[in-house]
């Protein structure tokens, strides 16, 4: 095997706990132990007595050293960055001035797209052209998602879209955010006709994510890249027209990923159930023949 195949994930600590050479969190110097071994270690830990001194001696953190912290920082720097992010935004959350009820919501995406908003506000024809292109993109993603089921016989993307839009409808109706005062609408933008729509979350972005994920799964990487680029551009346009808040777009990305995963789990569960049913029927037929 190559090094890329045989390489294992770095353990969370540089060396094992003195307790039988293992940690009670399931991490060892060689990798991860199974659930049965975990239960045995937990029993050995619990059976040693309930004294406070014994508990602290067996606690994993009592064996941590400076070398362990250095090892974690070197080999697990991504979780370390997130830990720093938690601390930073905890300070921000407890010290920033909240937006008063009489003011419009603050949105960092609106601040970043002020120039684009000014251009679109002064050029209604350009806004209409971009809105029409956005509607075409929605048609493209809808056609692709429907095609995967109706023509290719793969229902995962379609199921993901059904899950996603149903959940969007529930959440969008449950919390109806105010439409931004600087909203630039267009009669050709989807939904066509300047009708009302839910702000939270962006169905445009989530739908494009579902289509793109399916394309990557089928190794249609160039088509997926085109959809991803269009998705980024439409997100910028939505912020520039004040058609969605930044949180709508961010959650739209997450929703596309989440519901694609849930649809995959549903599809696997359905196939397992179908296989089990077939095996049961075969077993019954065998008993009848015997």
| C-alpha span between 34 and 51 (Å, rounded) | 28
Query: Catalytic residue at 248?
Result: yes
20 — pLDDT class (breaks 50, 70, 90): very low
CA torsion angle for 167, 169, 173, 178 (degrees, to 10)? 110
Question: Of the listed 23, 107, 214, 244, which one is catalytic?
Answer: 244
Whether the CB-CB separation of 200 and 97 falls below 8 Å is answered with no
Q: What is the pLDDT of residue 22?
A: 46
| C-alpha span between 241 and 258 (Å, rounded) | 27
Report residue 88 as tokens. 């930073």
Question: Of the listed 189, 214, 248, 260, which one is catalytic?
Answer: 248
Query: Catalytic residue at 260?
Result: no
- Tell me the CA distances in angstroms from 178 to 174, 182, 244, 245, one per residue in order: 13, 11, 10, 10
Whether the CB-CB separation of 227 and 208 falls below 8 Å is answered with yes
- Return the closest-CA partner of residue 173 out of 182, 165, 184, 181: 165
**How many residues are present in the chain?**
290
**Above 80 in pLDDT, residue 193?**
no
Report residue 41 as tokens. 């270690």
Mean pLDDT of the chain: 81
Report residue 19 as tokens. 């307790």
- Return the closest-CA partner of residue 209 out of 113, 145, 132: 145
Write down the domain spans for the chain: 64-94, 108-276
Express each pLDDT in 98-130 by its tens digit.
Answer: 888 778 888 999 999 999 999 999 999 999 999
Kindly provide the b/e burial profile for residues 184-198, where b requires at least 16 CB atoms within 10 angstroms of the residue's own CB. Answer: bebebbbeeeeeeeb
The whole-number average pLDDT for the span 259-279 is 86
Report residue 117 as tokens. 């908003």
* DSSP per-residue codes, 9-44: PPPSSSS--TTTT--TTSEETTEE--HHHHHHHHHH
Quote the pTM value: 0.72
| C-alpha span between 274 and 276 (Å, rounded) | 5
Question: Of the listed 117, 204, 214, 260, which one is catalytic?
Answer: 204
| C-alpha span between 66 and 145 (Å, rounded) | 52
Whether the CB-CB separation of 101 and 239 falls below 8 Å is answered with no
Dihedral pair phi/psi, residue 32, rounded to 5°: -115, 135
**Above 90 in pLDDT, residue 206?**
yes
27 — pLDDT class (breaks 50, 70, 90): very low
């Amino acid at each position: 095997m190559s090094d890329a195949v045989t390489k294992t994930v770095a353990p969370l600590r540089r060396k094992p706990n003195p307790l039988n050479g293992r940690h009670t969190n399931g991490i060892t110097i060689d990798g991860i132990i199974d659930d049965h071994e975990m239960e045995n270690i937990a029993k050995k830990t619990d059976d040693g007595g309930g004294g406070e001194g014994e508990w602290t001696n067996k606690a994993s953190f009592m064996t941590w050293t400076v070398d362990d912290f250095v090892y974690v920082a070197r080999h697990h720097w991504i979780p370390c960055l997130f830990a720093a992010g938690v601390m930073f935004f905890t300070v921000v959350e407890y010290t920033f001035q909240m937006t008063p009820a009489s003011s419009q919501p603050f949105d960092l995406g609106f601040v970043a797209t002020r120039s684009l908003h000014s251009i679109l506000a002064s050029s209604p024809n350009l806004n209409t052209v971009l809105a029409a292109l956005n509607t075409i993109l929605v048609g493209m993603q809808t056609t692709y998602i429907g095609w995967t089921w109706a023509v290719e016989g793969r229902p995962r993307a379609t199921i993901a879209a059904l899950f996603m839009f149903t959940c969007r409808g529930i959440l969008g109706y449950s919390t109806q955010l105010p439409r931004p005062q600087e909203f630039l609408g267009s009669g050709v933008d989807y939904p066509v006709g300047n009708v009302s729509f839910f702000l939270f979350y962006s169905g445009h972005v989530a739908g494009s994510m579902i289509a793109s994920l399916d394309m990557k799964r089928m190794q249609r990487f160039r088509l997926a890249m085109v959809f991803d680029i269009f998705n980024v551009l439409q997100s910028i346009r939505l912020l520039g027209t004040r058609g969605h808040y930044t949180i709508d777009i961010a959650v739209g990305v997450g929703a596309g990923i989440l519901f694609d995963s849930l649809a995959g789990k549903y599809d696997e569960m359905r196939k397992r159930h179908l296989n089990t049913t077939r095996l049961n029927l075969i077993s019954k037929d065998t008993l009848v023949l015997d």
